[in-house]
Amino acid sequence: MISPKRSKLSDMSQNDKKMDTSLVTLVERNPAPYGIPLLNTVAMAKISDPNDLVAMAQEIQKADTFVKATASNKLKVIVDQVRHLQQMAIQILQEAKDNTRLHHAACNFKKVPGNIYHLYKRPSGQTYFSMLSPEEWGTTCPHDFQGSFRLECDLTWTPLEEVLQKDSDMQIIEALMGSKNLSSVICGPDQLLNARAALLPPDL
C-alpha cells in the first residue's frame, strides 16, 4: 500500500513534469567576453538543474497570473468610473432639462435668486409661477399644484424638499474652502465624516 505522503510527492513530481519550462529564458552565454576566448566554456556558467527550470517556470507563471489579475482589477476600476460618469452625465442633462422647463414657465413678475416660487398648471396645460403657496391659497387654489422651487444664484432651481440638504452641503463646502488646514479634514474617512462638526460653528 502506497503511503499518502509518497503519493503526494508522486503527484507533485507529475505536476513538475507537466510544467512548460519553455517559459524560462536563460541568460545568453558569451564564449568570448570582451573578445577573449575562454579556455573552458563549460565552466563559464552553472548548468541549470531541471528542477531549477521547473521552479523558475512556476515563478514566471505565477507572475503572469498576478500581472493579469492586477491589470484586470485596474481596468474594473476604470469601467466602474466610466459607468459612474455616464450616470452623472444623465443626471446633469436631466437637471438641465428640468431647469430649462422651469425657466420657461409663465410668470408675471421678476424672479429673484434666493426666493421660493410655487408652480401651478392650468387646465389648458400652461404652467406658471406664483408667489402664493397652496396653503396661502387655501381651499380656493384654482389650479393644479406642481411643486415649490427656490431659484439659486446660478439660476438653477432646487425643489423645496431638497433645500435643507443643499444648504447643509453648501455650509460644509464653505467651511472647507475657508479652512486654513484642509489636510486635517481630508486625511482620512473619520475626518471626512466629522467635517461638519469639526469646521462649522456650534450654532449651525
List pLDDT tens digits, range 98-130: 999 999 999 999 999 999 999 999 999 999 999
Residue 41 has pLDDT above 50, yes or no: yes
At residue 70, what are phi and psi to the nearest 5 degrees?
Answer: -65, -45
Domain boundaries, the chain: 80-155, 161-204
Give the tens place of pLDDT for each residue, 123-180. 999 999 999 999 998 888 889 999 999 999 999 999 999 999 999 988 888 888 876 5
CA dist., res. 28 & res. 197, Å (int): 66
| CB-based burial, 21-39: b 16+ in 10 Å, e otherwise | beebeeeeeeeeeeeeeee
Q: E strand or H helix at 201, and its extent?
A: none
